[in-house]
Amino acid sequence: MLTWEATLGPPNPEAHGLAERMQHLRQNPFAAYGIALAAVGVATIIRWAIGDYVPGRIPFTLYFPAIVLATLLGGLWPGVLATILSGLAAWFVFIPAGFDSVFVWQEGFSVLAFSLVSLLLVGLVTALNSALDRLLVEIKQRRDNELAALRLAAIVESSGDAIVTKDLNAIIASWNKGAERLYGYTADEVIGKPVTILMPPERYDEEPTILERIRRGERVEHYETIRRRKDGTLIDISLTVSPLRDAAGKVIGASKVARDISERKRAAEQQEMLTREMSHRVKNAFAVVNGIVSLTARSASTPQEMAREIGARLAALTRAHDLARPGLIETESRGTKPTTFHALVCAVLAPYLDSDGSTEGKRLIVNGPDVPLAEKSTTGLALVLHELATNAVKSGPLSTARGLIRVESSVTDGQFLMTWKEQSGPRLNGPPDHEGFGSLLARSIVTGQFEGQLSHDWKPTGLVVRLSAPMDRFAK
């Protein structure tokens, strides 16, 4: 299992601090050689002070601690200097002068033995210093590594992204708070389980490919995929996978960083929908204007009358667009009383009727209760009606001089029902080969915003469209 364990600081902080100060002294040449001179001087003074109480034949005894101290605090060369100074001080100060050859050889042997023992002490203490230096380096490295590990653990734990580690068998080894928020599982619920519990069945084939790349030491750059939460819902995520290595550089697992991109995906889809809708509306605008011109030309007797009729119908078309897209065009209608169903139907279809908006000639018949519409439902319903009206102008009954639209509404058992019937238009030969963007848009509004149903019956005598949805999705 991949885990991080860290204990901050050395086992004995006081000893660690003393060792660091000794190391700093050895790095200062003035302090190091000064300590050597001081240690030899103090040893000489003490030896002088106790001279009456020690045998004269052991003048070197007190210099050993001075040499050890000089080497321990100063290093190799201060220790050698202390050895030389100690030998000279003992020879000239404490060894009596004499010319007896036996005496000279004895004292000379004593100095030689003192020198060898002192150098041996210097070597041992120097080796001890080297070991302490290496230990200090290792302690510092361990301390830095532990601090880095603690910082990394804090960053991982507080990250808003889901960060998960797994071994090369795809078994989950660690799980941060971000993963809990994203997937809904706690660490105790998933650690030790295969990472495939987060995948929908159709995504299982992703894991072998990822593990193969990780074993080769490759990094899997962020890519978009789908994962499954504890409650079974699916979420869109951006995933990055990196190999985890041990101290020897061997790949032992992988870390996964996942970010929820559901909002971004929804925003992108909405933007795409708006772009397609804009393109659709622009194309429809030309078709509608062409239909308005054709309708007006059949009834107008003079160019002036035709221009007046076209202007009135285009103004009515603008008002209908204001209902379908409130806020995109600043109008004086903002803040007016709520729209009713009959008023909305008439406003949307007004551009295709007579210029005064009347229903003379039986071009539009609206029956049923005039339900007051909630503000949140007006825009969606206006879009649905506008789509039906546009199709009726392009290829339905409003493309002919005698065509008729009949709109009937009713409320039954809390359900709002609307029936759109087209009559006296071109004969139909069945449904179109494919559903256009406008029809898809209308269906998505009814099923999504209104939580209802929308059906089309392509009768030879005319299209019949039925809309049903809960009343509380429409009325105030």
Q: Which of 56-65, 180-189, 276-285, 324-333 is modeled with the greatest confidence? A: 180-189
CATH code of the region 265-473:
3.30.565.10
Beta strand 234-245 with 364-367 is unpaired
Residue 145, pLDDT > 80, answer no
Residue 105 confidence (pLDDT): 65
Rg for the chain (alpha carbons), in Å? 47
What gap in Å lies between CA 214 and CA 252, rounded to an integer?
A: 9
Side by side, the strands of the sheet bearing 462-470 are 364-367, 404-412, 415-423, 462-470, 453-459
Is the model's pTM score more than 0.75? no
Task: Look at residues 443, 343, 333 and name the one whose alpha carbon lies nearest to residue 383.
Answer: 443
Residue written as token pair 């078309």? 317
b/e per residue 40-54 (b: at least 16 CB within 10 A): beebbeebeeeeeee
How deeply is 17 buried, as exposed, middle or buried, from its count of CB atoms within 10 A (0-12, 13-18, 19+)? Answer: exposed
- What is the total residue count of the chain? 476
Q: pLDDT tens digits, residue range 352-363?
A: 775 444 444 578
Residue 2 confidence (pLDDT): 41
Cα 78 to Cα 19, 47, 114, 302: the distances in Å are 18, 21, 17, 120
- 362: Cβ contacts below 8 Å, ≥ 6 apart: 404
Residue 152 confidence (pLDDT): 65
Cα pseudo-dihedral 132, 138, 141, 143, rounded to 10? -80
Contact 257, 221 (CB under 8 A): no
Contact 329, 322 (CB under 8 A): yes
How deeply is 73 buried, as exposed, middle or buried, from its count of CB atoms within 10 A (0-12, 13-18, 19+)? Answer: buried
Range with the poorest average pLDDT among 88-92, 258-262, 451-455, 461-465: 88-92
Residue 472, pLDDT > 60, answer yes
Fill in the amino acid letter for 129.
Answer: N
Q: Which region, left, alpha or beta, applies to residue 335 given φ > 0 means left and ψ of -120 to 50 means alpha?
A: left
What gap in Å lies between CA 16 and CA 136, rounded to an integer?
A: 8
Q: Which region, left, alpha or beta, applies to residue 362 given φ > 0 means left and ψ of -120 to 50 means alpha?
A: left
pLDDT band at 365 (very low <50, low <70, confident <90, very high): very high
Residue 458, pLDDT > 80, answer yes
- 254: Cβ contacts below 8 Å, ≥ 6 apart: 165, 166, 168, 210, 211, 214, 241, 242, 243, 244
- To the question of domain 159-260 being in CATH 3.30.450.20, the answer is yes
Residue 57 confidence (pLDDT): 52
Q: pLDDT tens digits, residue range 325-346?
A: 554 444 444 445 568 899 889 8
Residue 153 confidence (pLDDT): 66
Contact 385, 438 (CB under 8 A): no
What gap in Å lies between CA 251 and CA 243, rounded to an integer?
A: 6
pLDDT band at 463 (very low <50, low <70, confident <90, very high): very high
